[in-house]
Structure 1
Amino acid sequence: MTGLPRRLRALPIRSRLALLVATAVAIAVAVVAAACWFVTRDQLESQLDETLSGSKVDQRYLTDLYTYCKGSTAQTPPRFVGLTVQLVDSQGTVCIAPDAASSKVPVSDKDLEVAKRERHYALHSTTAENGTDVRVYTYPLGVFGAPGSESGNLAVSIARPMSEITDSLSTLAWVLLLVSGIGVVGAGVAGLWVARTGLRPVDELTDAVEHVARTEDLTVRIPVEGEDEIARLSRSFNSMTGSLATSRDRQSQLIADAGHELRTPLTSLRTNIELLARSDETGRAIPPDDRRALMTSVKAQMTELAALIGDLQELSRPDAAQPGPLRVVALHDITRTALQRARLRGPELTITAELAPWYVRAEPAALERAVVNVLDNAVKFSPSGGSIEVNLHRGELTVQDHGPGIPAEELPHVFERFWRSPSARQLPGSGLGLSIVARTVQQAGGEIALRPASGGEGTVASIRLPGAPQPPPEL
């Protein structure tokens, strides 16, 4: 039994389906055929019993048979065709016509009870002395002989051969067996056809998966028809390959954009370092002011490289990656901390803040980085001596600067990776800051948007985050 499931699993799925269908049909056909045979047998036996119960032997024949049994040979009773008729007395003695002696039926206890008037009738099956299976009906008979004579209590047993129904049942059994065999074979063929037809989409899916594994071609799509499980599986496969293709395209784009962004600071670093090396090799000293400017440029380019690598590491996680552990944090406190860093980076700017308490569920470090990036953008684009207004009210954090602003046609691109406004190409930055902000806010269930400030001067960055219950105070 343990080897059978292994053999089934070793078969192709269509063969297993065909085998299971044929087995199920075979069981169903066998049950129906058996039920049909037993019902037919019961009906035929019931009809035979009714025929026997309705059979009444002619009184004259019974008189002749009784006289014969008493020893008179004046009248020998004839034999019934197809029937066995015999007399049974209360002692179990049987009397039967001489030419029917070979078909004599054994007397049962029920027959004796009828002869003794303890039963009204008896109906049972037995085997005659000639080996024939018979159905016997016994009923009581009155007293024979002249008035005043005592002939005792008698019963009449009428027997009919069971072959009248067993032959029909045998024929029916062969017919049912033949029909069942044809049905099982037909079910197997139909099951194989259904399995082959039903699994054709699975074959297509298998071919597509093998093609993708062999060629890494993620443009393969499976035609989807209907709304069944196979169609859902095909849609899922198409969605998966589409997502993989998009992910691969984004990865390729990220690598290309990163290479492009890295090329500029690396080229500048290489040029400055070559100037310093050439000065040492030739012995021609670089003027102190120029050397100081070169070192400042080298330091700035290294800082920009470090920031770009950090941003790339942050974005190396897929968009659907799980964020760090979420906690209930105070957005107003995180904003105050970010404001301290922003004031250090723009000491010449006037930064005002109105922060109403608001608690959110987010990753604290990622949320602080997002707020710092928004404030850094405002500091970077604000003119010298300008001002920045920061407000937090009912879950909306707004940061408004008074810089050149962002043209309306560029607003849809500000959250794309490595995208930088043409007017900001000369300013430090990697073009990844707002991408990181957008992803962090979305992972916290919030929204971020940029819009022109009222009056057309500057830009307003707006972050909306859903509130969370205030945590209990620490003891």
Structure 2
Amino acid sequence: MNRVARRFRGLPLRSRLALLVATAVAVAVAVAAAVCWFVVRDALVDSLDDALSENRVPDNWVREMIDENGQCRRTIIGQYDAPNLLKQTVQVVDQTGGSCVVLGKQAIELKEADTEVALRESPGSYHDATASNGSQYRVFTYPLEGTPYAVSAARPLSEVDDTLNNLVLVLVLVAGIGVLGAGGAGLWVARTGLRPVDRLTEAVEHVARTEDLNLRIPVGGDDEIARLSESFNSMTASLASSRDLQQQLIADAGHELRTPLTSLRTNIELLARSEETGRAIPPDDRKALLASVTAQMTELAVLIGDLQELSRPDTGAGGAKVQVVALHDVTRTAIERARLRGPELTITAELAPWYVRVEPPALERAIVNILDNAVKFSPRGGTVEVTLDRGRLTVRDHGPGIPEDELPHVFDRFWRSPSARSLPGSGLGLSIVARTVRQSGGEVTLTAAEGGGTVATVQLPGAATPPPETPLT
């Protein structure tokens, strides 16, 4: 059985469909043929019973065939005045279970039902019986009026069997033609129905062979195949977009890495040439070169860290556990770090309690990036205002602001305003902010502030009180 199942599963899909259709039709035809055979047989037997009942041998003739001792006077073999009785075998049955044939060639076996009719315990009986030569007969036994006997009239069942055998031949022929036709129709339907799947398979093989993600399958209708084609087109479009973004990220990262690496190479070559030629670099110039090398190394480290952050899956599974975090405490810690980076600035804070469910390291990095932006673009002696009210974190600086036409691009990777390209940074900070906030179910916006400067707004879902029995970080 397992071998047959494995062999069946090894067949092509269209062959399996055709085989299943043919099998289903064969079973249906077999059941219908069996039902038809039994119905026709019952109808033929009923017709034979009616013939036996309607064409009785006359009672007075039967009485003449029995002497005063209850013995048959003589047996008539195959001769009688009525032609419709020539096929019948007629025998007389007494109450003791004895019998004698008065018409016909073969004696028919007696059954208990025949004796019951002779004893007047039954008004009549229809049943099958076997003749002395082994043939099957249909028997009708009825009482012989005015005597203690019964009459059994029998006709051969071959009248029914011959018709049934012919019917079987017809049913087998029709069933065979039906199964073959069903198999052919099933194969045609399978080929027609699976043609879109063949096109989809060819498209998948083409993509696997050529890596051409621009291939699209024509979609027609709204059935399962059409939905599968739409899903394939959506998948290839997403893969193409992902590949384009990956290539763009690699190109942008290479461009951003080239600048600090070029500067590092130039400075190190100057220091190496000084050592090789023995021509000392003035102390102030040497100090400036070393400071430049340190700054470029720091910029590289920041850029690599930002790239690692952006390389994490968008599902938020970056290794950190999602926890309930006190947003006001994280913001307060980020403000202290920002004050160290901009000691000449005044940073005010009004922080109302708010608890959110996020990855703590990612949230802290995002808030630090927002504050770093505010510190970077604030004028010396300026003020940065930070407020947190019902999950809405606002950071407002008084710097030069961002032009209106540049606002839609501030969260793009590696995008930097032309006016800020001389300042340190990788252009990835706000991209990381947007990604972290979206993963936490929030929203982030950057707008121009009234009177100059920029307002960064982060809205995160949460509550003013922590959930019960929840450890805070």
**What SS does the aligned partner of 1:347 have?**
coil
Q: Which residue of 1 aligns with 2:421?
A: 425
- Contact 2:379/2:398 (8 A) holds in 1: yes
Following TM superposition, by how much is the alpha carbon of 1:321 offset from its aligned partner in structure 2, in angstroms? 5.2
* Contact kept in structure 2, 1:391 and 1:399, CA below 8 Å: yes
TM-score of the superposed pair, with normalisation by structure 2: 0.93
Superposed, which structure 2 residues align to 1:442-453 within 5 Å?
A: 442-453=438-449
Amino acid in structure 1 at the alignment position of 2:239: L
Identity %: 67
- Of the structure 1 ranges 15-24 and 321-330, higher mean CA displacement relative to structure 2 is found in 321-330
C-alpha separation in 1, matches of 2:325 and 2:232: 40
Amino acid aligned to 1:413: H
Assess if the C-alpha contact under 8 Å between 2:72 and 2:100 holds in 1.
no
Partner deviation per Cα, 1:298-317 (whole Å, 9 max, x = no partner): 11111111100111111122
Q: Secondary structure at the match of 1:451?
A: strand
- What corresponds to 2:399 in structure 1? 403
Q: Following superposition of structure 1 onto structure 2, how do residues 40-189 of structure 1 map, counting pairs within 5 Å?
A: 40-66=40-66, 78-79=79-80, 80-97=85-102, 100-143=103-146, 153-189=148-184
Deviations 1:83-114 (A, max 9, x none): 222211123332333xx442322222211121
CA contact (8 A) 2:17 2:187 kept: yes
Instruction: Give the conservation status (yes or no) of the 8 Å contact 1:64–1:77.
Output: no
The answer to whether residue 262 in structure 2 is matched with residue 264 in structure 1 is no
Whether the aligned pair in 2 keeps the contact of 1:398 and 1:463 (CA below 8 Å) is yes
Distance 2:393 2:352 in 1: 10
Post-superposition offset of 1:267: 1.1
Structure 2 residues without counterparts, runs of 5 or longer = none
Change (3 A) 1:350 1:45: same
Q: Distance in 2 between matches of 1:309 and 1:170?
A: 89
- Deviation of 1:9 (Å): 1.8
> SS of the counterpart of 1:140?
strand
Amino acid at match of 1:117: R
Note the C-alpha offset of 1:130. Answer: 3.8
Task: Tell me which residue corresponds to 2:293.
Answer: 298
Deviation at 1:76, TM superposition (A): 10
| Other-structure match for 1:328 | 324
Would you say 1:216 and 2:211 are equivalent positions?
yes
Distance apart, 1:129 and its partner CA: 2.5
Deviations 1:314-351 (A, max 9, x none): 11224345343211110000000000000000111111
Q: Which moved more, 1:339-348 or 1:216-225?
A: 216-225
The residue aligned with 1:288 is: 283
Deviates more, 1:220-229 or 1:439-448: 220-229
Of the structure 1 ranges 313-322 and 376-385, higher mean CA displacement relative to structure 2 is found in 313-322
Taking a change above 3 Å as real, the CA distance of residues 113 and 72 of structure 1, as seen in their structure-2 partners, is closer
Alignment partner of 1:412 is 2:412: no
1:199 alignment partner in structure 2: 194
Residue 319 (structure 1) aligns with: 314
1:22 aligns with 2:8: no
* Contact 2:411/2:434 (<8 A) preserved: yes
The reply to whether residue 355 of structure 1 matches residue 355 of structure 2 is no
Tell me how far apart the structure 1 counterparts of residues 23 and 445 of structure 2 sit (CA, whole Å): 64
In 1: Cα distance, 2:411 partner to 2:296 partner: 24
Equivalent pairs, count: 464
Equivalent residues of 2:396, 2:456 under 8 A apart: yes
For 1:66, what is the secondary structure of its paired residue?
coil
| Structure 1 spans left out of the alignment, 5+ residues | 144-151
Quickly say closer, same or farther: Cα 1:203–1:71, change in 2 above 3 A: closer
The code of the aligned residue for 2:8 comes to L
- How far 1:67 moved relative to its partner? 5.2
Paired amino acid for 2:94: D
| Secondary structure, aligned partner of 2:347 | strand
* Pick aligned residue for 2:365 from 337, 354, 369: 369
User: Does residue 33 of structure 2 align to residue 33 of structure 1?
Assistant: yes
Q: CA deviation at 1:446?
A: 0.5
Q: What is the deviation of 1:163?
A: 2.1
The aligned counterpart of 1:342 is: 338
